[in-house]
C-alpha cells in the first residue's frame, strides 16, 4: 500500500486518474487491514485448526500478490498511466524477489507468489510486439521470475535442512539433558528401596541446615533402625530381608510427604529422616506415626508372618550459625541406642546439650 501510494504520487497518477487512484488505494487498505486483523488471531486459530490457519494465511498472501500484479498490469496497459511503468516494474520485481525469498520455506508460496505478481505485467508487455522495449522487458521479467523461483527453491531446501538439523540438535540436547537427570537420579537413589541415598541426604541436609541457621527455625532428625533385622536375614534369607527393606522404604516414603522433608536409606537397615521447620512435639508425632506404620507391615514368608518393628532416635534443635549439623545427627544416634536398650519398638527423644566449642567434623559427616 505504501509503495503504491508513493508511485502514484511521484508520477502524478493520483491527479490524472484520481478515481482509479482512490479505488485502488482503498482496496489495498482493506487487504492490509484484513491481514493485520488476521495476524493477531492466527496463532489461536492455528492451535484449534492448523490446516485452516495455513490455508487462510496463504490465501491472504496470494490475494495481495495477485492484486498487486493486476494493478501493475493496469498501469502498463493504460497509455496515460505508462509514465509509472519503469518504477512500477522495478518495484514489482523487488517486492516479488524479496517476498519469494521470505516464503522460500513454503512450496506453494514460493511458486505462486512471484507468478501472481509478475505474470499479469509480463502478459501486458508481451501483447505489444511492436514495442521492442516492452518485449525485452517481458523476456527479462520472465527470466527474473524463473530465477526467483529457482533461487527460492534452493533457499527453501537450505531452510528445511537447517530446520531439520536444528530439530535433531534440539532433540539430542533434550535427550542428553534427560539422560543427565536420569544419571543424577540414579546416583542419589538407593537401588533397593528407591529412597534417596546417603549422598543425597548429606548434600540436602547441609543446605537445609544452613537455611535453618539463617531463619532460626527448629529442625529435627529421626534415625530409624529395624529391630532384629540380622535375625531376619540369617533365618529367612537375604531375599526376605530385601523385601523387608523395600516394604519399610515404601511405608516411610508414603508417610513423609511434606515439601522439604527428606527420607533416605542411611546404611544397611538404618534410615534417616530430616524434618525442617519442625519442633520437638511435631517431630515426636511424625516419629510415632512412622513407628506404627512400620509395625503394621504385613511381611509373610511361606505362610509365616514375620514381625517388623523399628526403633527411632529423635533429635530436634534450633541451630545457630556456630553449630554443626552432624551434632544433631549424633544426638539422634545416641537416642536411637537408648531406644534399643530400652526394649526396641519405641521412640526416644534426645535431650540437647550442645558443645560450646565445635570440634572438627568426623570424616564423611555433614556440617
**Is residue 93 assigned to a domain?**
yes
Query: Residue holding cell 522495478?
Result: 90
| Tens digit of each residue's pLDDT (9 = 90 or more) over 109-137 | 878 888 888 888 888 888 876 777 788 88
Question: Residue 47 — pLDDT band, cuts 50, 70, 90?
Answer: confident
- In this structure, the answer to whether residues 48 and 156 fall within a common structural domain is yes
Whether 50 is in a domain gets the answer: yes
Q: From the centroid of its chain, how far is CA 39?
A: 26
Q: Do residue 13 and residue 133 come from a single domain?
A: yes
| 156 falls within a domain | yes
DSSP state of 32: H
Coil/strand/helix, residue 97: helix
Q: Answer yes or no: is 189 within a domain.
A: no
In a domain, 354, yes or no: no
User: Using CA atoms, how far apart are residues 27 and 67, in angstroms rounded to an integer?
Assistant: 9
Q: Is residue 273 part of a domain?
A: yes
- Count the domains in the chain: 2
- Whether the per-residue pLDDT at 363 is higher than 60: the answer is no
- Domain at 326, CATH number: 3.30.70.270
Q: Does the CA dihedral 299-301-303-307 come out positive or negative? A: negative
Q: Find where cell 537427570 sits.
A: 181
The 10s digit of each residue's pLDDT in 138-177 is 888 888 788 777 777 777 677 667 767 777 777 788 888 8
Are the C-beta atoms of residues 73 and 121 closer than 8 Å to each other?
A: yes
Average pLDDT over residues 283-300: 94
Same structural domain, 129 and 85: yes
Is residue 88 a part of any domain in this protein? yes
Give yes or no: residues 232 and 84 share one domain.
no
Confidence of residue 362 (pLDDT cuts 50, 70, 90): very low
pLDDT in tens, 299-308: 998 889 999 9
Residues 40 and 156 in one domain: yes
Q: Say whether both 8 and 155 belong to one domain.
A: yes
Question: For residue 110, what are the domain limits?
Answer: 2-168
Instruction: Enter the DSSP assignment of 360.
Output: P
> Residue 292: is its pLDDT beyond 70?
yes
Q: Are 116 and 217 members of one domain?
A: no
Average pLDDT across the chain, whole number: 84
Q: Give pLDDT, residue 286.
A: 95
| 228 in the same domain as 154 | no
Same domain, 216 and 100: no
**Considering the domain boundaries, does residue 357 fall inside one?**
no
| Beta strand pairing call for 270-275 and 299-301 | unpaired
The pairs formed by 263-266 with CB atoms below 8 angstroms and a separation of 24 or more are 263/195, 263/196, 264/190, 264/195, 264/196, 264/197, 264/198, 264/200, 264/201, 265/190, 265/192, 265/193, 265/195, 265/196, 265/197, 265/198, 266/198, 266/201, 266/223
Pair 141, 205 in one domain: no
Q: Give the end of a domain, one of 125, 147, 168.
A: 168
Please tell me the predicted confidence (pLDDT) of residue 118. 87
Say how many C-beta atoms besides its own lie within 10 A of residue 14's C-beta: 16
Domain boundary among the residues 149, 168, 187 is at: 168
In whole angstroms, give the CA distance from residue 107 to residue 244.
64
> Is there a single domain that holds both residue 51 and residue 138?
yes
Amino acid at each position: 500500500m505504501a509503495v503504491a501510494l508513493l508511485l502514484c504520487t511521484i508520477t502524478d497518477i493520483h491527479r490524472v486518474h484520481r478515481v482509479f487512484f482512490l479505488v485502488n488505494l482503498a482496496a489495498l487498505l482493506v487487504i492490509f487491514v484484513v491481514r493485520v486483523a488476521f495476524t493477531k488471531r492466527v496463532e489461536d486459530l492455528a492451535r484449534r485448526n492448523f490446516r485452516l490457519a495455513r490455508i487462510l494465511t496463504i490465501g491472504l498472501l496470494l490475494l495481495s500478490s495477485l492484486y498487486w500484479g493486476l494493478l501493475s498490469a493496469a498501469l502498463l496497459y493504460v497509455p496515460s498511466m505508462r509514465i509509472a511503468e519503469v518504477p512500477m516494474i522495478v518495484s514489482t520485481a523487488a517486492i516479488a524477489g524479496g517476498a519469494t525469498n521470505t516464503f522460500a520455506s513454503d512450496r506453494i508460496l514460493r511458486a505462486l507468489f512471484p507468478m501472481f505478481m509478475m505474470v499479469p505485467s509480463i502478459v501486458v508487455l508481451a501483447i505489444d510486439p511492436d514495442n521492442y522495449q516492452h518485449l525485452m522487458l517481458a523476456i527479462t521479467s520472465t527470466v527474473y521470475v524463473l530465477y526467483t523461483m529457482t533461487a527460492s527453491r534452493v533457499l527453501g531446501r537450505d531452510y528445511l535442512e537447517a530446520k531439520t538439523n536444528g530439530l535433531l540438535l534440539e532433540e539430542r540436547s533434550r535427550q542428553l539433558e534427560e539422560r543427565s537427570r536420569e544419571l543424577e537420579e540414579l546416583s542419589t537413589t538407593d537401588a533397593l528401596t528407591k529412597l534417596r541415598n546417603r549422598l543425597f541426604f548429606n548434600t540436602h541436609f547441609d543446605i537445609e541446615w544452613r537455611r535453618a541457621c539463617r531463619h532460626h527455625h527448629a529442625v529435627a532428625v529421626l534415625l530409624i533402625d529395624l529391630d532384629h533385622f540380622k535375625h531376619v536375614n540369617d533365618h529367612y534369607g537375604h531375599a526376605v530381608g530385601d523385601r523387608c527393606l523395600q516394604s519399610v522404604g515404601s511405608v516411610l516414603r508414603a508417610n513423609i510427604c511434606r515439601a522439604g522433608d527428606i527420607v533416605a536409606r542411611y546404611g544397611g537397615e538404618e534410615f534417616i529422616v530430616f524434618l525442617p521447620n519442625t519442633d520437638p512435639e511435631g517431630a515426636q508425632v511424625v516419629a510415632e506415626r512412622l513407628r506404627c506404620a512400620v509395625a503394621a507391615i504385613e511381611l509373610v514368608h511361606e505362610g509365616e508372618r514375620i514381625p517388623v518393628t523399628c526403633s527411632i532416635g529423635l533429635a530436634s534443635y534450633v541451630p545457630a550459625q556456630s553449630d554443626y549439623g552432624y551434632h544433631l545427627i549424633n544426638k539422634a544416634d545416641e537416642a536411637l541406642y537408648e531406644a534399643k536398650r530400652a526394649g526396641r519398638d519405641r521412640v526416644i527423644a534426645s535431650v540437647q546439650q550442645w558443645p560450646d566449642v565445635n570440634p572438627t567434623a568426623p570424616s564423611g559427616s555433614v556440617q
